[in-house]
Amino acid sequence: MKKILFALLLVSTAAFSQEQKADKPAFKSSVVLKWNPESLAFGKISLGSEIHLWHKKGITFNVGLPAKQSKTFKLDDKDRDVNIKSTSFMAGYIMYVGKSDITGLYFEPYVKYVKSESSVAGVDYTIGTPSRTAIFTISNDYKGYGVGAQLGVQFMIAKTIAFDLFLIGPEANSAKNELKAVETSAVIPWTNVEASDAKREVQDFVNDIPIIGKKMEITVDQANKTVRGNYSGFIPGFRAGLSVGIRF
């Protein structure tokens, strides 16, 4: 009798295990390699990875490799060709809300680093008495460390092709921004009037920079015909976009 009961117990346990496996497939670790096409607009090629070692949870890494781009922006009420080049690194911890290991709505806290360099040449200003046209090259260097929280959704096609929509990603950054405007059209130092005019013109240019433009400290190097703008402190940010990838 004991042997019969023991055999029935084994059969019941095996049946229950099979039922559990049917309801919930065994977790399988995977890696998704991604590319963000929108990153080209910021002067970089952004490549990412999503590594899943646990059910519905994983770690993410993204790196932005410099890829110089030229974009036209309206600055000082004129269309300017701006050269942009960026480098970035981001790491996060991703958690999916639904039943699937790697698709559906997710939440991802992350840390990031961004370095961006931009420049625009041939900027013409009128300075001095008597007035003359001065040609400037303006460059801007940005470095920032930040933390953020991303809300997004990921879809899979044939369990292989991934479409990642990162929708809402507020972030806080501690950043340093340095702008430099150098006159390239003259070989002698500025007069006091030229220095004052150049500072005013660059200030107008800087005011068009979002968030930090009016907070920059503007200084003039009269001997080297240079105007500088500096800002160091908090900068809010927002992350959104689309990436595509392949699951392995």
Distances (CA, A) of 95 to 32, 48, 55, 162, 243: 15, 16, 9, 16, 18
Q: Are the C-beta atoms of 148 and 171 separated by less than 8 Å?
A: yes
Give the start-to-end residue ranges of the domains of the chain.
27-247
Is the separation of the CB atoms in 60 and 149 below 8 Å?
no
How would residue 159 be classed by pLDDT, with cut points 50, 70 and 90? confident
Extract the tokens encoding 32: 């998704």
CA dihedral angle for residue 177, residue 216, residue 180, residue 140, rounded to 10 degrees: 30
75-79, 164-168, 204-208, 211-215: which has the highest mean pLDDT?
Answer: 164-168
pLDDT score, position 187 = 85
* pLDDT value, residue 25: 56
Domain covering 27-247 assigned CATH 2.40.160 in the classification: yes
pTM across the whole model: 0.80
The model's pLDDT over 32-68, given as tens digits with 9 standing for 90+, comes to 999 999 999 889 999 999 999 888 999 999 999 999 9
Distances (CA, A) of 203 to 6, 76, 125: 87, 10, 12
Instruction: Answer whether residue 194 shows pLDDT above 60.
Output: yes
Q: How confident is the model at residue 29 (pLDDT cuts 50, 70, 90)?
A: confident
Query: Residue 47's pLDDT is what?
Result: 96
- Vertex 143: Cα angle to 111 and 73 (nearest 5): 110
Measured in degrees and rounded to the nearest 5, phi and psi for residue 108 equal -140, 100
